[in-house]
């Protein structure tokens, strides 16, 4: 599916923001739908699943955090969080819930469109030729074409971004990736993102694999970054 055939659900209690984002996304060739709160968003998704959800954190009735929890309980639909404040707790909690990216208000509509496009490209692009379709080391196995990761045959419920990160590490198991290198590989060169966001995704990945017994999938190299671990199911 081409990115321009994708549909984005914009969820925010401010009609002006919904209108602003819908206009910018439509100008970029994306179809849009709108919802004013989490309950309305879930009802909309039950009728027609979008390709990505832009989700405000601070909303009445059902906020973005609870809405994201319910979305994640149903699958790995990409989520981009919006917040009216630059609150680190909100950002970390959002990432640990499985959000693919995070933008703080006030924002540039062009930036939001660029981040949406980057997420959708990762969802729909084919694996690069140099990357094998399947990868296996120890208890870890990756299916690049199916976007699935398993630990000893049990699938880990990864988001698109989480899968992209572990696949990046698996592409070069001996290499230590800096946070900037991970951002470049996952999002594209020059993409603006903080180191803390990558750290939150790594923490989430470790938690999901550890729940299945994969306690050594990702190794931290102090002062440098991250690399693929031994994947033997033993604490490093």
Quick check: 169 and 185 in contact, CB under 8 A?
A: no
Class of domain 3-124: alpha beta
Percentage, residues of the chain above pLDDT 90 = 42
The model's pLDDT over 96-130, given as tens digits with 9 standing for 90+, comes to 677 788 888 888 999 999 889 888 877 765 444 33
Question: The whole model's pTM is what?
Answer: 0.60
Quick check: 55 and 64 in contact, CB under 8 A?
A: yes
Instruction: Give the helix/strand (H/E) hosting 120.
Output: helix 109-124
pLDDT tier at 38, thresholds 50, 70, 90: very high
pLDDT for res 88: 58
Phi, psi of 34 (to 5 degrees): -130, 150
The model's pLDDT over 172-221, given as tens digits with 9 standing for 90+, comes to 887 888 888 888 888 777 677 777 888 989 999 999 999 999 999 999 98
| Equal fold, 3-124 vs 134-228 | no
Rounded Cα gap, residues 220 and 236, in angstroms: 10
* 134-228 CATH: 1.10.10.10
Tokens 């603006």, located at residue? 192
Distances (CA, A) of 212 to 57, 130, 208, 216: 30, 29, 7, 11
Rounded Cα gap, residues 202 and 14, in angstroms: 32
Instruction: List the structure tokens of 115.
Output: 């981040």
- Would you kindly state where each structural domain of the chain is located, as residue ranges? 3-124, 134-228
pLDDT for res 163: 92
């Amino acid at each position: 599916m081409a990115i321009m055939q994708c549909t984005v659900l914009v969820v925010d209690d401010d009609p002006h923001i919904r209108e602003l984002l819908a206009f910018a996304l439509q100008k970029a060739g994306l179809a849009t739908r709108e919802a004013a709160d989490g309950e309305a968003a879930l009802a909309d998704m039950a009728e027609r699943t979008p390709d990505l959800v832009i989700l405000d954190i601070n909303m009445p009735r059902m906020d973005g955090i609870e809405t994201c929890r319910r979305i994640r309980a149903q699958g790995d639909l990409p989520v981009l969080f919006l917040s009216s404040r630059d609150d680190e707790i909100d950002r970390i909690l959002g990432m640990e819930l499985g959000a693919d990216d995070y933008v703080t208000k006030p924002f540039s509509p062009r930036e939001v469109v660029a981040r949406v496009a980057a997420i959708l490209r990762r969802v729909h692009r084919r694996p690069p030729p140099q990357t094998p379709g399947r990868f296996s080391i120890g208890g870890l196995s990756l299916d690049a074409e199916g976007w699935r990761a398993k630990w000893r045959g049990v699938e880990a419920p990864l988001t698109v971004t989480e899968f992209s990160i572990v696949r990046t590490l698996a592409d070069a198991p001996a290499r230590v990736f800096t946070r900037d290198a991970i951002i470049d590989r996952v999002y594209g060169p020059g993409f603006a993102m903080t180191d803390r966001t990558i750290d939150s995704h790594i923490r989430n990945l470790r938690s999901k694999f550890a729940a299945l017994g994969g306690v050594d999938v990702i190794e931290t190299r102090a002062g440098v970054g991250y690399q693929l671990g031994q994947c033997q199911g033993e604490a490093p």
